[in-house]
Amino acid sequence: MRILHLITSPRKSQSYSAQLGNAIVEKLTAAHPGSTVVIRDLAAAPFPHLEEAHIQSFFTPEENRSAEQVSAIAHSDEAIAELLAADVVVIGAPMYNFSITSNLKSWIDHIARRGKTFSYGANGPEGLVKGKKVYLAISTGGVYSEGMMKVYDYTENYLRAVLGFMGMTDVTVVRAEGLSVPGVQDTAMEKAYEAITV
């Protein structure tokens, strides 16, 4: 089994989402001996935010790209190749201001490419990244899976939508939530670890 592990929190060893992602990877490798793990730390080495050069490169046929366009599209090509090579994708996703980190959004912007990860046909859009299992390791200071704060959760909903658009519909969410809530935070990670099933 080939596992791609995305780390997106800048908090390094203090990151709850990274700890949760590591626990998921550990369970996967224990269940599937011989698995290989590729770690993409987007906090340590973020992809650039999209600029005109990237967008022009995306829409220029490969055979017509200039040297500058080939260079501009290198991050995207590399990220897509990693994604397509993986059987399982583990994404550490801390909630920042109700949504995902900007480095994770940049990664998504580089992999969401027409003709590579999705296409448009007679019946509308079709995802081209199929047969992948995705785990979302989401960490939040509050509780967003239920109750009055659920409407503010643009982390899980967005990731399910954009990954599903590209064909990745087999998504399991593991949450460490209430990490800043007195009376909840002390057992939040323990409950999250117990919820991991692979």
| Domain hosting residue 110, numbered range | 2-194
Beta-carbon contacts of 25 under 8 Å, excluding residues fewer than 6 positions away, are: 3, 5, 37, 90
What tens digit of pLDDT does each residue of 154-197 get? Answer: 999 999 999 999 999 999 999 999 999 999 999 999 999 999 99
Dist. CA 27–CA 170, nearest whole Å: 18
CATH number at residue 12: 3.40.50.360
Closest CA to 108 of 170, 28, 168, 19: 168
DSSP the chain: -EEEEEE--TTGGG-HHHHHHHHHHHHHHHHSTT-EEEEEETTTSPPPPP-HHHHHHHTS-GGG--HHHHHHTHHHHHHHHHHHH-SEEEEEEE-BTTB--HHHHHHHHHH--BTTTEEEETTEEEE---S-EEEEEEE-SS--SSGGGGGG--SHHHHHHHHHHTT--EEEEEEE--TTSTTTHHHHHHHHHHT---
pLDDT attached to residue 13: 86
Amino acid residing at 40:
R
Give every CB contact of residue 23 below 8 A, 6+ residues apart in sequence. Answer: 137, 192, 193, 196
Q: Find where tokens 């900007």 sit.
A: 102
Sort 183 into a burial class: Cβ within 10 Å, 0-12 / 13-18 / 19+. exposed
- Tens digit of each residue's pLDDT (9 = 90 or more) over 59-101: 999 999 999 999 999 999 999 999 999 999 999 999 999 999 9
pLDDT at 182: 96
* Distance in angstroms (rounded) separating the CA atoms of residues 38 and 25: 10
Q: What percent of the chain has pLDDT over 90?
A: 99
Domain count, the chain: 1
Whether the Cβ atoms of residue 155 and residue 117 lie closer than 8 Å to each other: no
Q: What is the pTM of this model?
A: 0.95
Are β-strands 2-7 and 88-94 bridged in parallel, bridged antiparallel, or unpaired?
Answer: parallel
Torsions phi, psi for 183 (to 5 deg): 90, -15
Tens-place pLDDT, residues 89-100 = 999 999 999 999
